[in-house]
Structure 1
Amino acid sequence: MIKQENIKRTIVVALLCNLLFGSFLVHAEVLDTIIAVVEEDVILERELQKEVAVIEQRIQQSNAAIPPAYVLRKQVLEKMIVDKLQRQLAEKAGITVSEEMLNSSAADIARRNNMDIEQFRAELEGQGISYQSFLDNMRNEIIINQLRGREIGGRIKVTDREVEHYMETQDKIGEESTQYHLGHILIAVKEGASSTEIQKAMSKAEGIVGSLRGGQDFSQTAISDSDDANALKGGDLGWRTLSEVPTLFVNEIRQMKQGDVSEPIRSPSGFHIVKMLELKGTDNHMITKTKVRHILIKTNELVDDAEANKRLLALKARIADGDDFAALARAHSDDKGSALKGGSLDWVGPGDLVKPFEEAMVKLGINEVSDPVQTQFGWHIIQVLGRENKDDSSEFKKNLVREAIRKRKIEEETELWVRRLRDEAFVEIYQDRL
């Protein structure tokens, strides 16, 4: 009797194990379902679920409404496809990110947020973001940025004439002191699209404009409908001066007020819709110029760091006793270009000199001589002879225009490049699994 009960119990346990194990296998099979084939790689259901969860959290933190699950999965999948195509191209090009570079970038982000790396890790985990996930995303962004820099950045040139032409023909008084906070939606049209496909995209864009002007939320609409890379950020392009606005939008932007939504704007990529989220003005650009001189001692096989320090401290003592700095620079400095001018580097502005030199220089009073300072060039003693505040608005404006034209060209070229990459790739999406 006992034996029969044991047999029954064994059978029941075996059945339960089979049911549980079978359930586990079904669950594992679902998670490993292929959602899309991207060239020689695939995107699995678990990868899509993980990325959707990250995007949902980001949308919640921005207080935007989360779109329907099917819409969000479709948008996230499209982003993953484009990212995977770029990663594949980067791998073929041999583009990698070392652990050292990754850790250095993470430490830099932590420092900019006034935290050390452990505090930054704790802050991420407090927001429900694993540190490893953060590193993986950052590695992906760095690789893609390096790829785009290689494929696109090197081809982009901005001439002095382009800067002058912009300032002569497009710049107006006060426009560069205005900043525009823009939202953007793209309804994409693939290269070689038929007239029917183009008309369908245009009708969709016109319908969206009507809905937005009727009060529909822009951020949610961008997340749901935009084909632009910023779709999952609610279409937010951030704050820009007029020179940083894509050329295609400039004339439209000039006429818009806060809250306005543009008509669909045609480009080779499709139809663009722009919303003026906010406007604000900016002040003149003032910088501090410093008149500075130095004495440099380079290290070599005969002069090590200790010897260079010793020599400079001796020279500093002689200056304190009344010896002429310029004469000592001419006699002892290894920077032959400035030595001929008594060590003078003349007037310099922010960013003109290497960081350790500039950091030491800004702490000095007028006529004060620094202790020895090390840079990649060797060891220096530094003396500040004067400071003045200067309105650098004109030069600053030219530099802003130059950088904005370059950024605009990169954005326009990147949009076309990404769209071409996507259109020319072999991608199969299993729609029934979305």
Structure 2
Amino acid sequence: MLQRLLFAVAALACTGSVAAVTPIDRILVVVNDGVILHSEYEAALDNAEQQLRQRGVDNVPRNQLRDQVLERLVLMRIQTQRARDAGIRVDDRELNDVITNIAQRNGMSQAEFARQVRREGRDYLAVREQIRNEIVTQRLRTRELQSRVSVSEEDVDAYLAQEKNVGNTEVDLSHILIAVGDGASPDERAEARSRAEELQRELEAGADFASLAATHSDGQQALEGGDLGWRRLADLPPTFARAVGDLEAGAMAPVIEATGGYHILRVDGRRGSTDRQMVTETRARHILIEPDKLTTDEQARTRAFDLAEQLENGADFGELAREHSDDPGSSNAGGDLGWQPPGQMVEAFQQQVDQLEPGERSRPFRSQYGWHIVEVLDRRERDATDELRRQRARQVIGERRMQEEYEIWLRRLRDEAYIEYRLSEDA
């Protein structure tokens, strides 16, 4: 998890400041009212190479990665600019909370996380800013795209019918995408198909998949060597599931045509999976102090810590929740959230709940909604197979549609952006 996160944010982020430019630094690309510096570009190239080496891919010439890396930097800069204009911010305190959670999930303290980053040859302060950018862009995507994605009960029924047909098989996939833009002409689509078919011929002749993905793919996992990881057949788009459903490990599907371009898929492994039958539910209660127009984040934090001190001194949790909590759904019930399966809460809240035993209470912590104090009351095991199937189906369909919307939205943002390249021969 640590490696994947660091690779993802390091390859995508561009956080340099013009004020910090050294005399030998220079501007490579102007993106709207911002720039991408040569130093950022070289750092991103270094990280891309390190990422590929970690995956056992060390035969990709540096000059073949340049276009991929620069495009990633451009796309990230466009998104962070739009987030800035939309007023999306992540302050240092929230960033520290996120980094602490990342470190804890990997069995480290924040200080140990920082040392690990430095051992890997990265600038810790730069990585902090890269993580901040990733959080900001995730929130931007949610704000701008969430309303465009809906999942009906009929969608869930259709998904479950497909799942019944393909069973619980999982496949480990590698992927290359040759993208085509909205409104591409027949000649442009034909050219893209020809490129995809040529790449597939190279792969069939023994070319390394990860190397070709890193240098040619337009997919989000290009700089991870095209690795999609293990996916349930039922979770794949139907066109993909049909193409790879009967393939053995090592086999490639014929080039797949889709609206956004042409796909090459290779099955690297197959295995069966077992549906989860039991779920651990948690009953918890919480107090939420929410920043608003009249309450700054610092004031909300101060109030949360004051309430935590009152609880330490014996105050009744339910009474404080009824009097002070800003969560309208639980405050009247003394903060009681009822029985909840895992994954129902936002990530920061769920992580706190998962770390607590029944009867334990957290220190104040922040989520996207504000400052919380949570107390776990009890846990139980329950058979929730049918509910989980429907819940998972809804989540998979939503994520799939969100990704489709994201790719369309990102292409539109790029088309609308002002981009001026100032590359030289040694760039």
Please give the TM-score of this superposition, normalised by the length of structure 2.
0.73
The alpha carbon displacement at 1:230 in A equals 1.6
Q: Residue 172 of structure 1: SS of its match in structure 2?
A: helix
* Contact 1:246-1:412 at 8 Å conserved across structures: no
Decide which of 116, 121, 125 is 1:132's aligned counterpart: 125
Q: Which residue of 2 aligns with 1:261?
A: 252
- The reply on whether 1:180 has 2:180 as its aligned counterpart is no
Q: Could you say if the C-alpha distance between residues 66 and 146 of structure 1 is closer, same or farther in structure 2, counting changes exceeding 3 Å?
A: farther
Question: How much does 1:70 deviate?
Answer: 2.1
CA distance in 2, matches of 1:378, 1:84: 36
Choose from 201, 207, 214 the match for 2:205.
Answer: 214
Residues 262, 274 of structure 1: 8 Å contact kept = yes
Give identity over the alignment, percent: 31
Letter in 1 for 2:414: R
Q: C-alpha deviations, 1:192-211, integer Å up to 9, x for none?
A: 33333222211111011111
1:271 and 2:280 matched: no
Deviations 1:317-351 (A, max 9, x none): xxxxxxxxxxxxxxxxx99879xxxx9x7x77556
Provide the rounded CA distance (Å) in 2 between the counterparts of 1:350 and 1:35: 46
Alignment coverage as a number of residue pairs: 364
Superposed CA deviations along residues 348-375 of structure 1, whole A, max 9, x for unmatched, are 7556798778876x65xxxxxx699999
Q: Which residue of 1 aligns with 2:276?
A: 285
State the Cα distance separating 1:98 from its structure 2 match.
Answer: 0.7
Q: What amino acid is aligned across from residue 192 of structure 1 in structure 2?
A: G
CA distance in 2, matches of 1:161, 1:227: 32
**Which one-letter code corresponds to 1:41 in the other structure?**
G
**Residue number in structure 1 paired with 2:137:** 144
> Which of 383, 403, 406 lines up with 1:414 in the alignment?
406
Contact 2:174 2:227 in 1 (8 A): yes
State the distance in 1 between where 2:148 and 2:375 align. Answer: 39
Assess if the C-alpha contact under 8 Å between 2:361 and 2:373 holds in 1.
Answer: no
1:379 and 1:148 map into 2 onto residues whose CA distance is 28
Q: Secondary structure at the match of 2:265?
A: strand
CA 1:430–1:188 in structure 2 vs 1: closer, same or farther (change >3 Å)? farther
- Listed one character per residue, the Cα deviations across residues 114-153 of structure 1 (whole Å, up to 9, x for unaligned) are 1111111111111112211211211111111111111112
Runs of 4+ in 1 over 4 A off after TM superposition: 288-294, 309-312, 334-338, 347-360, 370-384
Q: Deviations over 1:21-80 (max 9, x none)?
A: xxxxxxx77631x32232333323222112111211211222112422222111101111
Q: Per the alignment, in what secondary structure is the counterpart of residue 171 of structure 1?
A: helix
Q: Deviations over 1:404-424 (max 9, x none)?
A: 001100111111111222233
2:112 aligned residue (111, 116, 119): 119
Any conservation in 2 of the 1:190–1:423 contact (CA below 8 Å)? no
Secondary structure in 1 aligned to 2:248?
A: coil
Aligned 8 A contact 2:65 2:214 in 1: yes
* Gap regions ≥5 residues in structure 2: 1-21, 288-303, 320-329, 365-370
Answer with 240-249 or 56-65: which moved more.
240-249
How far apart, CA to CA, are the structure 1 residues paired with 2:250 and 2:92?
45
Contact 1:209 1:273 in 2 (8 A): yes
Comparing 233-242 with 350-359, greater Cα deviation is found at 350-359
Q: Residue 232 of structure 1: CA displacement?
A: 0.8
Kindly provide the CA deviation profile for residues 171-225 of structure 1, in whole angstroms up to 9, marking residues without a partner as x. Answer: 22562x2222221111122223333322221111101111112221111110011
Question: Retained in 1: the 8 A contact 2:217–2:226?
Answer: yes
Aligned counterpart for 1:45 among listed residues 32, 38, 48: 38
Distance 1:377 1:263 in 2: 51
Counterpart check, 1:425 vs 2:420 = no
**Structure 2 vs 1, CA of residues 163 and 61 (structure 1 numbering), >3 Å: closer, same or farther?**
same
Structure number, greater radius of gyration: 1
1:107 is displaced (CA, Å) by: 0.4
Counterparts in 2 of 1:254 and 1:30: CA distance versus 1, 3 Å: same
Which whole-Å CA distance do the structure 1 matches of 2:206 and 2:282 have between them?
A: 57
1:238, CA displacement in angstroms? 2.1
Between stretches 246-255 and 76-85, larger displacement belongs to 246-255
**The one of 77, 80, 88 aligned to 2:73:** 80
The verdict on how the C-alpha distance between 1:258 and 1:311 changes in structure 2, with shifts beyond 3 A counting, is closer
Distance 1:391 1:432 in 2: 63
Letter in 1 for 2:396: A
Task: Report the Cα offset of residue 281 of structure 1.
Answer: 1.9
Equivalent position to 1:249, from 230, 235, 240: 240
Q: 1:56 is matched with which residue: 49, 55, 67? A: 49
Amino acid at match of 1:261: M
Q: Identify unmatched segments of 5+ residues in structure 1.
A: 1-27, 313-333, 364-369
TM-aligned CA distance change 1:231 to 1:337, over 3 Å: closer
Per the normalisation by structure 1, the TM-score is 0.72
Residues 282 and 341 in structure 2, CA contact (< 8 A), matched pair in contact too: no
Question: Could you tell me which amino acid in structure 1 is paired with residue 114 of structure 2?
Answer: R
Q: Is the 8 A contact 2:177 2:217 kept in 1?
A: yes
In 2, the alpha carbon distance for the partners of 1:71 and 1:112 equals 35
Amino acid at match of 1:428: E
Contact 1:39 1:425 in 2 (8 A): yes
Q: Is the 8 A contact 2:178 2:192 kept in 1?
A: yes
The 8 Å contact of residues 56 and 66 in structure 1, kept in 2 or not, is answered as: no
- 1:398 is the counterpart of 2:390: yes
* Conservation of the 8 A alpha-carbon contact between 1:287 and 1:349: no
Root-mean-square deviation (Å): 3.8
Against the structure 1 CA distance between its residues 68 and 164, is the aligned structure 2 distance closer, same or farther, given a 3 Å change threshold? same
Alignment correspondent of 1:23? none
Contact 1:106 1:117 in 2 (8 A): yes
Check 1:373–1:156 CA distance in 2 against 1; reply closer, same or farther (3 A cut).
Answer: closer
C-alpha distance in 2, partners of 1:138/1:374? 24
